[in-house]
Amino acid sequence: MERRKIVRRIITICLFAALIAVIILSQNHDFSNPHSGIPRETWISGAQGHGFVVNNNQDPANRCYPCHEKKGLGGEAYCQSCHEQSEVEVNLP
């Protein structure tokens, strides 16, 4: 009987510690941002970043731009400034 109580307490403490760990770790994660697990520099100029999406024709103008604009991450002027530097002509929706 005493052994069961000890096992239950250990399990309870482990579950409680796991819950606390999940709560603490989730504080640094933005669930509304699909890119939050990737560092900004990697996303913008990395191998699987913006250029990768554009080159693989994943339609960023319709899939990414509306969300970016809604979240205030830069509208047409922000995107076009980078496109002009790269000498890329893009018509945003």
- Judge whether residue 81 has pLDDT over 80: no
For range 62-81, the mean pLDDT: 76
For range 72-79, the mean pLDDT: 74
Residues 41 and 15 in one domain: no
Q: Is the pTM of this model over 0.95?
A: no
For range 25-49, the mean pLDDT: 72
Residues 1 and 42 in one domain: no
DSSP state of 32: T
Residues 39 and 53 in one domain: yes
Q: For residue 15, what pLDDT is reported?
A: 97
CA distances to 2, 19, 83 from 6, rounded to whole Å, are 6, 20, 64
Residues 72 and 88 in one domain: yes
> What is the domain extent for residue 64?
34-93
Residues 47 and 72 in one domain: yes
Residues 50 and 91 in one domain: yes
Residues 38 and 83 in one domain: yes
Q: For residue 57, what pLDDT is reported?
A: 63
